Structure 1
Amino acid sequence: MLRRITNRLRIDRPRVRYSGTSCTAQKQKGLVLGVYDGCCPGEFKLSPTAAKFDECVSGRLTELLKGTKLKSGKVQVFGNLGDEFYLVAAAGLGPESATTNQAEGLDECKEYIRIAAGVGAQALQDQTITNIFVEEFTNAESAAEGAALGVWRYQDWKAKEQQLTASAIDLYTGNDREGWNRGLVKAEAQNMARELEEVPGNLMTPSIFARFVQEHLCPCGVTVETKDKDWIERHHFHAFLTMAKGSCEPPVLIELRYCGVQSNEKPIVLSGKAATFDTGGLCLKACKGMSVHRADIAGAAVTVGTFRAIARMRLPLNVTALLAVYENMPSGMSVKPGDVVMARNGKTIRIEDTDNDGRVVLADVLSYSSVYQPCLVINMGTSNPGLLTSLGAPPNGVFSTSDIIWWEMHRAGMYTGDRVWRLPFWKFFRSRVTNFVGVDTTNVGRGPGGYPCLAAAFLLEFIPPCIDFVNIDISGTGTVNVHTGMPYLRKQSMSGRPVRTIAQFLYQIACPHEYIHDC
């Protein structure tokens, strides 16, 4: 079963698998071209590549587009435009003058390109086109991201004869093959995270997850070590074991190490909530919609995808990850509301709500990060749905102890289109999770509201002294894709966010002189 799961995931660069212009090959080929908004309503302007193609087909593309009013996110598909391609998708590119919008926190030029490439590729895929060429637009990296994210589908457990078209993508014209390949690396890493989030809980247990990570990261040069329950007990991860003991599946601690520079350079440590399934424990979640909590592995999935990306990009920095993988299940062995446990750093935690399991487990993980003497700790997880209520799905909530780190994360979000929004690490929230009689802290906190801030304040209690800390709340962004404004992610599929933003952030830290902002 494990081999069946791991063999299903294919993240190698898409290749063109045909040659010649036979009728069969021609019917398998499609092309995505861009169309800018015109100066006046109803007008349009072809991209340079689309204009050249239009010349080759004697202006028929222009004729067909008259009166269509293509806008960003919209696409028109045409046939009988030459002998090379069976279908051509003309996708809206928005205004040609689009650039970085500081008020929106977004490089709109790149995002328009992702949207055009994504919806164009999806439209051709829906017409059963198996080989899709995408023009470079003005940024090949963004075009590759949009197309690769757009054609991804999770259908591993459908009968083969019922599966929808799986399409390969490639660059049509342009000289920026390096940018195209970089975009594919980031998108494929995000698709890996999406796959991990989608796998049903019975097929992605902690032990299966550990072997999956070994099979997919070790070939990239990442060192993967899996610690069993005995090791976890010997090293006093009592909070972790307390939350995991309700399940028959044994927990594991996975350590990932990527060494891009000398070993004496301090690493960045990544961590993430890694519940392969979260029922809520004795504080049981509602039955309706519970299946989506197979995606409570999202923090770990994003971490694994990020490691895949940075290893393939060969970034010159050291990164370590700690993933405490477990199931949160109800049973006679489960932790009970009101139980008290001591974390690795000696602080006691009263567990008021067993559904707030992730932060309790991460208390041990974050405390243990001191072993690596990191320069920065970044945690990601689906800690609380409160952020989805307040911000909706578009931004990832970021708590940062460093203004400089926050700004770099913000720049990365602008660049990738997977935006972030800063939230407060105030002493007020710390007081709500620490001022108790009899224990040092609780996993709920005192008073109404502010639950994402309380979760972040709780985690901050377990960060080693004098180390910068970033907590990224992906409750509204890292699981099922709904209402995100990202049409290149198919609705109701897992999102894998924010893999590209974390990978871009690490790229900016490792190669600040190579950071390119212009579209």
Structure 2
Amino acid sequence: MEFVVKTAKAPSLKTATLVLPVAQDRSLGDYARSVDQASGGAISAILKRGDLDGKAAQTLLLHDIPGLKAERLLLLGVGKADELDTRQWRKIVGAAAGVLKSLGGADAAFAMQDVQVKNRDPRAATRLLVEILADGDYQFDRFKSKKADARPLNKVVLLCDKAQQAEFERAAAEAKAIAAGMALARDLGNLPPNHCHPTFMAEQARQLAKSHKSLKVEVLDEKKLRELGAGAFLAVSQGSEQPGCIVVMQYNGGKKGEQPYALVGKGITFDTGGISLKPGLGMDEMKYDMCGAASVLGTFRAVLELQLPINLVGLLACAENMPSGRATRPGDIVTTMSGQTVEILNTDAEGRLVLCDTLTYAERFKPRAVIDVATLTGACIVALGSNTSGLLGNDQVLVDQVLAAGESAADRAWQLPLFDEYQEQLDSPFADIANIGGPKAGTITAGCFLSRFTKAYPWAHLDIAGTAWISGGKEKGATGRPVPLLTQYLLDRVG
């Protein structure tokens, strides 16, 4: 979908559908009133009839309004001004998108510059509008023998005043890049595990590098990982016929020698639980256990499209967790790349095993900060549900930056404690550390485990087990989160 910013007057704009906001008291903003005047008061006359009272997400489609060159006019209820927050804005824009999809028009124009969204300036509200429309256009049907009908809407015009044009263009560019990154992350998550395996993930990174010269990719195979002493990582991958790997991505858009930021993604392309086998019901959704790595790839795509002046490292910890004669057993002890030993009490706590060695490897880049992203614990879903990602870290400044980025991007996270008392749950009588801490505070003890390997740099951990995909039903599928949060965090770093 193409997005274009224009300063044209709405009445003179040729478009299939013009979208105009109406507040709950049936009042029109300054821009909408000018459109009403051009129509000879036709719009206000329709509102007086009571066909639409302006409640949030109400819609009324009108045809052949006098004085307008638009073929249709879509009146869109935006509710009460003091109640219009990000959540309501999503519903409102989603309602408009639903109507536009049902029409035959190839384009539409939004005249929403008068709408005030709480805690968002017009640029931020416009960016979110574009993200919602672009992400709503996503569909995954590559394995359907009969493809979905092509949607006619392929162009959206964003109307604004001349003073707003530069900011709106910037908002649209950021939103398009974020939506493209989300689409990549969703595609990778939705792919079946017989297609999307560790080698495939590495190839996707290489394909991204082929089209962007500023990106370099290196793949650490199992032979290299053995040389590096990545015993925890290999304890997971050894049970599968699919070889594991760490994919190293380096984007140098900043100054030469400038310390990079680093993103680390859990990429378990299928998780059976290993010898600690998961229940069969719903196990098909364990193809989504690589959504952390997918979101890192998606964020890189957004950064590359925006050509951000920043140095960035991405590390994808890709493996498949399978039961076999070679698989790790509960009770095995392995030595990590850091030299610490781990007693593996549960092979289904495998994400932290691939991540701990990958986080140790991150030290060599001397990063300013490291954020790891993982579908790590079911306990996070119990704690926070499917709306909010869990967040822990060893540096409060970094944690606050991630929280702020989530609020700004409408992709929120919530901080959980990382108190030393929780570390005691990981004590092992036989090794330096156990890989699980018992049934209590599972998300926190997983964070405690990772914190043992991140002492060399500021670090934050995002647990996206509840937010990376939607379970069951017709809406089942990857969400593309937290690409908006991660991209916003990096945008904030470059001002």
Deviations 1:293-350 (A, max 9, x none): 2111110111111111222222222110111211112222221111111110111111
The AA in structure 1 aligned to 2:55 is K
What's the offset of the Cα at 1:71?
Answer: 3.3
Query: Quick one: distance in 1 between partners of 2:415 and 2:225?
Result: 34
User: Are residue 387 (structure 1) and residue 380 (structure 2) matched?
Assistant: yes
Query: Quick one: distance in 2 between partners of 1:326 and 1:129?
Result: 45
Q: 1:449 is matched with which residue?
A: 440
For structure 2, the residue ranges without an aligned partner over 5 or more in a row are 5-13, 114-121
SS for the counterpart of 2:240 is coil
Query: Quick one: distance in 2 between partners of 1:79 and 1:491?
Result: 32
Deviations 1:343-396 (A, max 9, x none): 101111111111111111111101111111112111110111112112222221
Query: Quick one: distance in 2 between partners of 1:218 and 1:150?
Result: 28
Deviations 1:55-88 (A, max 9, x none): 4444444455534344334444444447855554
Q: 2:183 is matched with which residue?
A: 191
Q: 1:10 is matched with which residue?
A: none
SS for the counterpart of 2:337 is coil
Map 1:317-356 → 2, pairs under 5 A? 317-356=310-349
Runs of 4+ in 1 over 6 A off after TM superposition: none
The AA in structure 2 aligned to 1:496 is G
Q: 1:143 is matched with which residue?
A: 129
User: Are residue 432 (structure 1) and residue 425 (structure 2) matched?
Assistant: yes
Contact 1:217 1:307 survives alignment (8 Å): no
Contact 1:115 1:146 survives alignment (8 Å): no
Q: 1:152 is matched with which residue?
A: 138
Report the identity percentage. Answer: 27
What's the offset of the Cα at 1:168?
Answer: 2.2
Q: 1:45 is matched with which residue?
A: 27
User: Are residue 32 (structure 1) and residue 19 (structure 2) matched?
Assistant: yes
Q: 1:459 aligns with which of 431, 434, 450?
A: 450
Query: Quick one: distance in 2 between partners of 1:31 and 1:156?
Result: 32
Q: 1:502 aligns with which of 470, 486, 495?
A: 486
Q: 1:180 is matched with which residue?
A: 172
What's the offset of the Cα at 1:496?
Answer: 0.9
What's the offset of the Cα at 1:234?
Answer: 2.0
What's the offset of the Cα at 1:455?
Answer: 0.6
For structure 1, the residue ranges without an aligned partner over 5 or more in a row are 1-12, 17-25, 38-42, 100-107, 484-489, 512-519
Q: 2:110 is matched with which residue?
A: 134
SS for the counterpart of 2:329 is coil
Q: 2:151 is matched with which residue?
A: 165
SS for the counterpart of 1:203 is coil
Contact 2:270 2:290 survives alignment (8 Å): yes
Cα 1:456–1:55 change in 2 (3 A) is same
Q: 1:305 is matched with which residue?
A: 298
Query: Quick one: distance in 1 between partners of 2:70 and 2:283?
Result: 44
SS for the counterpart of 1:341 is strand
Contact 2:337 2:357 survives alignment (8 Å): yes
Q: 2:199 is matched with which residue?
A: 207
What's the offset of the Cα at 1:49?
Answer: 4.5
Cα 1:189–1:348 change in 2 (3 A) is same
Contact 1:31 1:87 survives alignment (8 Å): yes
Contact 2:243 2:319 survives alignment (8 Å): yes
Of 234-243 and 125-134, the range deviating more from structure 2: 125-134
Map 1:267-282 → 2, pairs under 5 A? 267-282=260-275
TM-score (norm 2): 0.86
Cα 1:29–1:198 change in 2 (3 A) is farther
What's the offset of the Cα at 1:481?
Answer: 7.0
Query: Quick one: distance in 2 between partners of 1:49 and 1:124?
Result: 21
TM-score (norm 1): 0.83
Contact 1:193 1:496 survives alignment (8 Å): yes
Contact 1:134 1:169 survives alignment (8 Å): no
SS for the counterpart of 1:46 is coil
Cα 1:118–1:251 change in 2 (3 A) is same
SS for the counterpart of 1:44 is coil
- For the aligned residue pairs, the C-alpha RMSD in angstroms reads 2.6
Contact 2:141 2:148 survives alignment (8 Å): no
> Aligned residue pairs: how many?
466
The AA in structure 2 aligned to 1:340 is I
Cα 1:84–1:208 change in 2 (3 A) is farther
Cα 1:72–1:476 change in 2 (3 A) is farther
Contact 1:396 1:419 survives alignment (8 Å): yes
Q: 1:373 aligns with which of 349, 353, 366?
A: 366
The AA in structure 2 aligned to 1:333 is R
What's the offset of the Cα at 1:410?
Answer: 2.0
Contact 1:134 1:143 survives alignment (8 Å): no
The AA in structure 2 aligned to 1:477 is T
Q: 2:463 is matched with which residue?
A: 473
Query: Quick one: distance in 2 between partners of 1:334 and 1:297?
Result: 19
Contact 2:229 2:335 survives alignment (8 Å): no
User: Are residue 68 (structure 1) and residue 52 (structure 2) matched?
Assistant: yes
Deviations 1:133-176 (A, max 9, x none): 33453332222112112222222222345446364242242222
